[in-house]
Every structure is written in C-alpha cells, then in structure tokens.
Amino acid sequence: MRLTKRRVEALQEAVPSLYDRHRAIVPWLNGVGVGKKVVAGVPTNEEAVTFFVNRKMPPEMLTDEWTLPRQITVTYGKRSFEIPTDVIELGDFEFLFALNCLFENPVRGGTCVASMGGNLGTQGGVVRDPNGNAYLISNAHVLSGINNQFPLNHPIVQPANSPRTVANLARTTTITTGITIFADAAIARYQNNALASSFITNIGPPTGIGAPFVGQPLRKSGAATGLSFGTVKHVNITHTIGPYLFSGFFLTSVPTALGDSGAFVLDPNGAIIGMVFARVQGQGGGHTYSACVPMGAVIQQLGLQGWSWV
C-alpha cells in the first residue's frame, strides 16, 4: 500500500502513542518506527509499522497480551486505514565517542572536535547566525557531555586533549532521563570565524536542508570512518537508548564507528538530512544501523530557524 502524504503524517503522529501503549505490556519492546516490511530477510516495498525488540520470542512463549498485532488501525479525522506491522530484533545502542583526534585548521565538517575534558566526536559542519557568526555543530553528548555535564561557554578543543580552544558551547539540547528527547545536538561559537570551514571533508559544502524518507540514498563524512554510503531504513522512531527515551529519529545503513557522533548525513544533492548520534546491531548479530536525528528537529530544538547552513 502506498501512503498519501496525509496518511504518512497521521502515522508519524501515532508512533509515540503506539510505543507507550505496547511498551507498557510487552517488556522486551524497546521502540516503534516506520519502515519497509521485511520478509525472509528481504525488504519489500510495503510500508509497515516496525516494532523493535531486544529478542524475538517463540510464539509458544507468548501470551495473548504479549502478542504484538499483525496490523494497526490509524485514524485521522473521520477516516482510518490499516497498515501491517513488522518485528525487528535490535541490540543495544551506543553513543559514538572516541579518544584520538588530528589537527585541523580551519576545522572542516567531518573532522574531530571535543569538549575540554570530554570525549571527542565529529563536527558535522558549520552554521551561521543572522549576524554572520560561525558555530560548529555536533551532538550534545559530544559538546556538553552525557547529562549535560559541561556548562554553557565550556571550551571546545581541536585536537582533543589539547589546550587549543577553537569555540565555546553556546546552545545544547538536554540529555537526561525522565523526558522525551527529540534531538541530540549542540552548537559552539567559534572564537574566530577564520577557524570555521563550511567544506565537509570528501563531500564539499552543503546545499541546504532536507528531510529523511525510507529508501533515501545518503553519504556521510565522519572523523572515524571517513566517507561512507547507505540508505534510510526506518523513520520516525521512538526508542529507548540506554536510560534515555528518544523520539523522531531515523535508522540508516551508513557505516559508522566510535568517533563519528555528530557527522552529517547528506543526500546526493548535498542537502543535510540528519546527524549521526548512535549505532545499533541488527538481529542475529547482522547489519549495524546508524541512528540519526533529522535536521528539522535539530533546527527546532536549538532555535536555529533562519540561520545559514551554506
């Protein structure tokens, strides 16, 4: 079934409540999202609500209340439609910290940065405010630390574990328990605009901002794994990551490793679609997915409307 734009919007609105409803009953359910239904390990063209579990249970071990529905009814206005479901086994997500870093001047997108006294990640790129001031952007867990351990104005260094301060923490989303997190993102204002480069290593300057959709081709440049390619696999996911509850992120097949947190993922035309923040291994120890926050959520949560990305 091909979904209309209005049905896609209705389905996206329904995902958080689907998570809340079934998580309260099924103890091994960790997340809900939207993707293509997989049959015998092969993705189909059929849209489905995806339930993410840490272990698929044999049918004989499931009670009626633990059995996830084979289809979901989604209501919008006075209308409703049925959509099939799928169940995918995922391991534990991990944030992509690392410990080593190379000198950059100016600091390009796709290269490493770190909060002073913290772990390093990747500078996705540069964003400029209406006055022309340049800011580097990465994950909150990179620039302000897990549970936002570093205060605003905290030094951001490059390379890591060096005294060379290039920027200061300016804005961050909150990463803590007890809330729903819509973006793992932070920006730091460069002390000198000459230190900032809009060029993303191995890709070039971005052309703007886009939105993710299932099947979309992507590329990324990260401090750990450099240039790599993949596609969007699932969107609009609500899922626990460690003790935290994240909502609205998407999963891709783009390869990543420790140190790639904060890397932009871009479409073939150079539009920034999202920012890497974690990875997780698929069922049976198979494919590793990279988790990304959509740039629309980054802009909204950090208040960057009207700022320049090119």
Per-residue CA distances from 126 to 49, 196, 295, 308 (Å)? 35, 7, 13, 9
Are 75 and 166 in the same domain?
A: no
**What is the b/e burial string over 182-211, where b = at least 16 CB atoms within 10 angstroms of the residue's CB?**
bbbbbbbbbeeeebbbbbbbebeebeebbe
Are 70 and 141 in the same domain?
A: no
pLDDT digits (tens, 9 = 90+) for 63-75: 666 778 888 888 8
CATH number at residue 164: 2.40.10.10
The count of other CB atoms within 10 Å of the CB of residue 299 is 18
Are 244 and 285 in the same domain?
A: yes
Rounded CA-CA distance 191/198 in Å is 16
Whether 109 is in a domain gets the answer yes
The count of other CB atoms within 10 Å of the CB of residue 153 is 10
Are 135 and 167 in the same domain?
A: yes
Structure tokens that stand for 144 in this block: 């302000």
Structure tokens that stand for 181 in this block: 């997190």
pTM for the full model?
A: 0.80
H/E element, 295: helix 295-302
Are 14 and 77 in the same domain?
A: yes
Whether 45 is in a domain gets the answer yes
H/E element, 212: none
Whether 130 is in a domain gets the answer yes
H/E element, 8: helix 5-23
Are 103 and 129 in the same domain?
A: yes
3-state secondary structure string across 217-241: EEEEEECCCEEEEEEEEEEEEEEEE
Residues 6+ apart with CB under 8 A from 222: 110, 122, 228, 256, 257, 259, 260, 263, 276
Are 79 and 105 in the same domain?
A: no
Choose among 28, 32, 74, 27: nearest CA to 50. Answer: 32
Query: Concatenated DSSP letters for 141-168?
Result: HHHT-GGG-SPTT-EEESSTTSS-EEEE
Whether 308 is in a domain gets the answer no
Whether 304 is in a domain gets the answer no
Are 250 and 197 in the same domain?
A: no
pLDDT digits (tens, 9 = 90+) for 236-283: 999 998 899 999 999 999 999 888 999 999 999 999 999 999 998 765
Are 18 and 36 in the same domain?
A: yes
Are 29 and 105 in the same domain?
A: no
Whether 12 is in a domain gets the answer yes
Whether 310 is in a domain gets the answer no
Q: Which amino acid is at 10?
A: A
Whether 306 is in a domain gets the answer no
Q: Which of 23, 55, 89 marks a domain boundary?
A: 89
Per-residue CA distances from 99 to 76, 87, 164 (Å)? 48, 36, 16
The pLDDT of residue 125 is 95
Strands (E), 161-225: 165-172, 180-181, 186-190, 196-200, 208-209, 217-222
Rounded CA-CA distance 112/118 in Å is 13
Rounded CA-CA distance 20/230 in Å is 30
Domain range enclosing 78? 5-89
Rounded CA-CA distance 85/125 in Å is 37
The pLDDT of residue 69 is 80
Q: Which of 89, 107, 131 marks a domain boundary?
A: 89
The count of other CB atoms within 10 Å of the CB of residue 162 is 13
Are 220 and 295 in the same domain?
A: yes
Rounded CA-CA distance 99/113 in Å is 10
Structure tokens that stand for 59 in this block: 């049918």
Are 71 and 150 in the same domain?
A: no
Taking the chain (310 residues) in runs of 10, the rounded mean pLDDT of each run is 71 80 77 82 81 73 71 82 83 64 84 89 95 97 91 92 91 94 97 94 93 94 90 92 93 91 95 95 70 97 94
Number of domains in the chain: 3
Q: Provide the mean pLDDT of the chain.
A: 87
Q: Which of 89, 109, 130 marks a domain boundary?
A: 89
